[in-house]
Amino acid sequence: MIPGEKSSKVIERGSDLLDILTQDPDVLPLVPQKGEGVYIWDVDGRRYLDFSSGFAVVSLGHSNPKVVDVIKKQAEKLIHYPVADFYVEAAVDLAERLISTCPGGDKKKVVYTNSGAEANEVAIKLAKSAMRRGRLLAFYGAFHGRTVGALSLTASKWVQQLGFFPTMPGVIHAPFPNPFRNIWGINGYDDPEELVNRAISYIEDLVFKSFPPEEFAAIFIEPIQGEGGYVVPPRGFFQELFKLARKHGILLMDDEVQMGLGRTGKMWAIENFGVSPDSIQFGKAIANGIPLGGVIHRDDIAFRLAGQHSSTFGGNLLGLSVASVVLEETWKILPNVERVGMHLGRRLGELMDEFEFIGDSRGIGLARAIEIVETSGSLKPDGKRRDEIVREAFKRGLILIGCGESSIRIIPPLNIDIETVDRGVDLLREALLAAGKSA
């Protein structure tokens, strides 16, 4: 399917007028015009099944009636008043509800932001100001945003760093325990304990013997690495990392921007690993398409002086009103995420058995991915074939997006049903067949 006439014109104009972001008209020439539930229509009237959820944003589906209704009602009353400078009841109410969702019994507070990247910037400031320490630890494969502080934590793709050196000093990266492909050559599915031991030993025996652990303010984590390939670590990893952090008085800052708010079948993805972090950074799905982010954090690491941090639009009224609906609806559909997610996992496993160039199928809930490799049994990523699969899926009316070197994420809205999942997986299978023939 080539772009329609209207789509082609928009793409051409966009190439002239918009600075380069991440669009690729050769792979995904989509020009969306409207959406409903799990479907998107482009400006030429073509319908697509959206297995990207607008990059894990519209978890309740496109133009969800409850979301639309609350936006209309709020817009008629008041569109903007700065939460940072005045006492807005909706901000207080949502903070109370957000705190109630978090693991751990510590007293907590909330800071609102405009995005997930800004939430991680706030988390950096919280950690440094509370701990009076300058160093931070993050992981290779991590993505925490593109603003300078968050970019310093990010280590997902080299192009994200190109031209921006030097970024924030004091950030050290360690290998993430990827069960499928790691620097130790361990099959983490067969021997998860050994992989966890190696990952923790790397930090304790290499990082903390090269840099003073008492100078580290925080460790930044993603429960499942998103842009890095939807990599799920062994279940015991974060428990051991938490112990190591506590041993040295280091905070654990949990980036849930892509994986939080029900994506894994739990409200927060870290709940799958039995750990209570010191902060949770959120964004994306919190307002189903209205820009909003924030940090839920322990009260004892809060900003202590007025003016240490502020934001004009952080906690905008439209976002706050939608977020209240998102929380309410997400609680209701968590069982659906678990049930449909298990079915999706089985279907993807069947595809892995059928196609030798699918090296791995992984995920929790409706946070799923397949990884494309060169040959059966190989660990060598095949990004070219991955892009061809995404292209072939688009031709058939299925929207997918890549991640990592050669993975494809499958992240439909959380209220999707099994029948629609099967329809999407069938389209994916057709794309895999077509890409296999063209290789």
Closest CA to 71 of 260, 291, 261: 291
Structure tokens at 18: 């918009």
pLDDT at residue 438 is higher than 70: no
Mean pLDDT of 180-192: 98
Q: 76 and 57, same structural domain? A: no
pLDDT at residue number 23: 83
Q: How far is CA 121 from CA 150, 164, 166, 216, 218, in A?
A: 6, 17, 17, 16, 13
Q: 202 and 157, same structural domain? A: yes
pLDDT at residue 378 is higher than 90: no
Determine the structural domain holding residue 410 and report its residue range: 5-63+333-438
Q: Among residues of the chain, what percentage have pLDDT more than 90?
A: 95
Q: 339 and 286, same structural domain? A: no
| Surface-to-core class of residue 307, CB atoms within 10 Å of its CB (0-12 exposed, 13-18 middle, 19+ buried) | exposed
pLDDT at residue 352 is higher than 70: yes
Q: 111 and 207, same structural domain? A: yes
In this prediction, residue 2 has a pLDDT band, given cuts at 50, 70 and 90, of: confident
Q: 194 and 244, same structural domain? A: yes
Say how far apart CA 226 and CA 143 lie, in whole Å.
Answer: 7
> Which one-letter amino acid corresponds to residue 141?
G
Say how far apart CA 313 and CA 290 lie, in whole Å.
Answer: 12
In total, how many domains does the chain have?
A: 2
pLDDT at residue number 201: 98
Say how far apart CA 225 and CA 231 lie, in whole Å.
Answer: 5
Instruction: Convert the pLDDT of each residue in 242-286 to its tens digit.
Output: 999 999 999 999 999 999 999 999 999 999 999 999 999 999 999
Q: Which residue has the higher pLDDT, 225 or 104?
A: 225
DSSP structure string for 326-343: HHHHHHHHHHHHHHHHHH
pLDDT at residue 437 is higher than 80: no
In this prediction, residue 26 has a pLDDT band, given cuts at 50, 70 and 90, of: confident
In this prediction, residue 375 has a pLDDT band, given cuts at 50, 70 and 90, of: confident
Strands lying side by side in the sheet with 279-282: 108-113, 293-298, 279-282, 251-255, 216-221, 135-139, 171-174
pLDDT at residue 156 is higher than 90: yes
Structure tokens at 122: 């706030």
Q: 288 and 150, same structural domain? A: yes
Closest CA to 24 of 285, 374, 388: 388
Cis peptide before 213 (omega within 30 of 0): no
Would you state the torsion angle of the CA atoms of residues 117, 119, 122, 126, taken in this order, to the nearest 10 degrees?
-130
CATH number for the domain that contains residue 395: 3.90.1150.10
pLDDT at residue 103 is higher than 80: yes
Q: 280 and 347, same structural domain? A: no
Q: 88 and 26, same structural domain? A: no
Q: 345 and 316, same structural domain? A: no
Tell me which of 280, 306, 330 is where a domain ends.
330
CATH number for the domain that contains residue 189: 3.40.640.10
pLDDT at residue number 122: 98
Q: 374 and 409, same structural domain? A: yes
- Contact between 3 and 25 (Cβ < 8 Å): yes
pLDDT at residue number 439: 53
pLDDT at residue 120 is higher than 90: yes
DSSP structure string for 125-155: HHHHHHHT--EEEEETT----SSHHHHHH--
Q: 98 and 242, same structural domain? A: yes
Tell me which of 330, 346, 377 is where a domain ends.
330
State the average pLDDT for the chain: 96
Tell me which of 269, 303, 330 is where a domain ends.
330
* DSSP H or E run through 39: strand 39-42
pLDDT at residue number 160: 95
- Whole-structure pTM value: 0.97
Mean pLDDT of 289-302: 98
Q: 413 and 305, same structural domain? A: no
